[in-house]
Amino acid sequence: MLKLTYHGHSCFELEAGGHRVIVDPFIAGNSHAKIKASDIKVEGVLVSHGHGDHVGDAVEIAKRNRCLVISNFEIANWFGGQGVEAHPMHIGGSHTFPFGRVKLTPAVHGSALPDGTNGGLAAGFLIWMGGKCVYYAGDTGIHSDMALYGRLNPIDLALLPIGDNFTMGVDDAVEAALLCQAKEAMPIHFDTFPVIAADPKEFVRKLESKGGKGRIAGFGETVTV
């Protein structure tokens, strides 16, 4: 069994079998987050790309928990420079950690770190925990590789950005959910800022009208995958 807790924006925790990780821990600047970074207890922090709304509080959380940051090679090196232990990976590669397996997938997006350091290529993640596979697309436009990754790695739940402007909007996210053949798809990366206002119910309605299945997690809500 896999539990997912959504903290708003693209920040979520996954918990299975006593293992817990957090993805893109944007908490301090995230008005939808109902927790503090200092309350997060995890054994791993996954960072999809270098932008501030994804790196978020990763340094503080990793130091407080004395845990690993998992990201691409360039971002892992940057965390190393902040005194954080990091496991470097890159797109297409997977690795099995004590909590589960992680594979980096392509995301069509930028990845510069907040201080201007080159953050390599933006990524998404396939994460296997508790016998389930979650696909987190990261910040990305729609791309046809989603179909290939979905075919090679059957997906139980896809987390897809719907906020438009910086990423896919609702209509492209609906197509992305169908492309990757996820059993269920959850909208993320919306309403945090006015420019990414979007309606998660519209995503579910449009997806289900095309034969997919949508699922919304409220801010702070824990759902079972």
Would you tell me which residues interact with Ni ion (CB under 5 A)? 51, 139
- Report yes or no: 14 and 98 within 8 Å, Cβ to Cβ: no
- Report yes or no: 5 and 20 within 8 Å, Cβ to Cβ: no
Q: Would you say 112 or 223 has its CB closer to Ni ion?
A: 112
Provide, rounded to whole angstroms, the least separation between the CB of residue 107 and Mn ion: 10
Provide, rounded to whole angstroms, the least separation between the CB of residue 1 and Ni ion: 31
Binding track, positions 70-109, relative to Mn ion; x by CB under 5 A:
----------------------------------------
Which two structure tokens, joined as six digits, stand for 159? 């987390």
Please give the Cα distance from 42 to 57 (Å, whole number).
Answer: 13
Judged by CB under 5 A, the stretch of 121-129, 135-143, 176-184, 205-213 that binds Mn ion is 135-143
Please give the Cα distance from 108 to 138 (Å, whole number).
Answer: 9
Q: Could you tell me how many residues make up the chain?
A: 225
Please give the Cα distance from 202 to 207 (Å, whole number).
Answer: 8
By CB under 5 A, is residue 191 in contact with Mn ion? Answer: no
Q: Which of 13, 60, 74, 139 binds Mn ion (CB under 5 A)?
A: 139
Q: Would you say 2 or 113 has its CB closer to Mn ion?
A: 113
Using DSSP's 3-state secondary structure scheme, residue 122 falls into: coil
Judged by CB under 5 A, the stretch of 31-39, 100-108, 118-126, 132-140 that binds Mn ion is 132-140
Please give the Cα distance from 135 to 158 (Å, whole number).
Answer: 5
Q: Contact positions toward Mn ion, by CB under 5 A?
A: 53, 139
